[in-house]
Amino acid sequence: MPSERRSPTRRQLLRISGTALSGTALAGCAGLMDDEGETTENTRTTASKKKDSGELTLQKVGQLQPSGNEPSSGGYSEVSVREDGKYAILGSKWGISGSYLIDLDDPANPKLAHYLGNPNSAPNLDVKFDFRDGLYYRAIERHHPGNFEIVDYGQENGSPANPTVVGTASDDKSHNVTPHPTKPVLYAVNYRLETSGFDVYDVRDPTNPRKVGEHGPQGAGHDVTVDPEREVLCCFYQSGEFIGIIIYDVADPRKPSEIGRFDYREQKSYSTAQVGEEAFGSAHHGHFDPRRELLVVGDERPQGIPGGKHVFDVGWKDGSLSNPIPVGFTVSPNAQRMPEDDFAGRFDWTGHHFSIVPWGERTFIVSADWHEGVVLYDITDPTNPNPVDRYPTDDGMDSLTPNDKVAQFGEAPMAWTARYDANRELVVASDTFTGLYTFELATEE
């Protein structure tokens, strides 16, 4: 492994000067006033007031390196958290297979509830909970006749300790899957250049998922996010006939209808940009701000100039769902050009999976940004998003023996996903080397 790859000092905390907003700036941010346009300072609780002042930091509380049937370590991928925060699921990639259900009853001591392998050693890269209790989905990408499976871990036939696969879709492969948060509908990105961007499945009967449509331009749709309150969906396209984002009306969740798009090919390319300069390419992942008319989109690039995070105005000021306007951009705190021909340096400083964190009257992003580890960004001012804290997820690396496919990345941290559970104010993250982490968010005066 190349010696020049540098892991940051353990528990190194990033402090960025000049990120605090003045009271005037805060008052101007959308979502900080009540219906009459008056501030709500006099009605907030002491706890809420504390959230609106001081620096927000990541505080690690727990870690787990679950094992399945593999003798070597690593290969962890996506993590998802059930809405009530009681369970997490951890996926697999890079030399291992299967899915792990994690009991989060005590976040300081996460426990393995089950490991569920599969018969053909297929990686289950993406894993997501259904809104119905006792079901989760896991995507399949190779060596198996199906593009996703539905796992019953307590809905009818299974239990957390004894899960069973009850449904399978066999239409080639899926890279990422996104269940509708309130309806029995699943969106699966097929990630193939020769087909439409995403497929729609009716999953009312978990034992018999039915494909009911394909949507989007021909190309590699990478991921989908759904906002049930706005009744919209956004698909992120990395390559093919279209690169960028397309927003769909999903008032009828089984029949998405395009209402707006933003074409990356009409914007400045990363190939002509410097590190940290706003550019567009390889739209990877994103989420709608739950309280403001904003959409946050991350670009992921494996080499060269690293992709950053864009904040789009979709109604906050001059933009709309039909005309998204980029208003803010940031890159990871240690962003630097990545090697073109060395796999061990690929992906290092580009963005990856993240969540939006409403915190009092402020808003943050918690993101797993590969070799950065987990990074906290302040997007309270959407025109000036910036990193404010980070945690390098390399704990226990000295005791691990990564398998060959994981080892090609070099060394931890290589953080994959960071999820925020608002019910418990808990962050759950994954690192492909070192496993699952739990964090609390703490405000320091």
440 within some domain: yes
Q: Which domain holds residue 286?
A: 23-444
Is 208's pLDDT higher than 80? yes
Q: What is the CATH number of the domain that holds 153?
A: 2.130.10.10
Q: Which residues pair with 178 in a beta bridge?
A: 187
288 within some domain: yes
Give me 293's structure tokens.
């008319």
| Full 3-state SS string of 420-444 | EECCCCEEEEEECCCEEEEEEEEEE
Is 130's pLDDT higher than 60? yes
Is 90's pLDDT higher than 70? yes
15 within some domain: no
Q: Count other C-beta atoms under 10 Å from residue 329's C-beta.
A: 18
6 within some domain: no
Asked which of 138-152, 199-213, 398-412 is least confident by mean pLDDT, the reply is 138-152
Into how many domains does the chain fold?
Answer: 1
3 within some domain: no
Per residue in 330-360, pLDDT (tens digit) is 999 999 999 988 788 889 999 999 999 999 9
The burial of 42, by beta-carbon neighbours within 10 Å (0-12 exposed, 13-18 middle, 19 or more buried), is given as exposed
Q: How confident is the model at residue 142 (pLDDT cuts 50, 70, 90)?
A: low
Q: How far apart are CA 18 and CA 39, in angstroms?
A: 24
Inter-CA distances, 153 with 79, 80, 238, 263, Å: 17, 15, 33, 41
pTM: 0.89
Mean of all residue pLDDT scores within the chain: 87
Average pLDDT over residues 397-402: 84
Q: How confident is the model at residue 45 (pLDDT cuts 50, 70, 90)?
A: low
Asked which of 36-50, 59-73, 108-122 is least confident by mean pLDDT, the reply is 36-50
Average pLDDT over residues 67-77: 79
Q: Which residues pair with 151 in a beta bridge?
A: 136, 165
343 within some domain: yes
Q: How confident is the model at residue 44 (pLDDT cuts 50, 70, 90)?
A: very low
pLDDT of residue 35: 43
Is 29's pLDDT higher than 50? no
Element (H, E) at 51: helix 46-51
Task: Select the highest-mean-pLDDT range: 94-103, 213-222, 423-432.
Answer: 423-432
Number of H helices, E strands in the chain: 3, 27
Give me 313's structure tokens.
């105005």
221 within some domain: yes
Q: Which residues pair with 79 in a beta bridge?
A: 90
Inter-CA distances, 317 with 28, 247, 379, Å: 11, 18, 15
5 within some domain: no
**Strand 127-129 to strand 283-288: parallel, antiparallel, or no bridges (unpaired)?**
unpaired
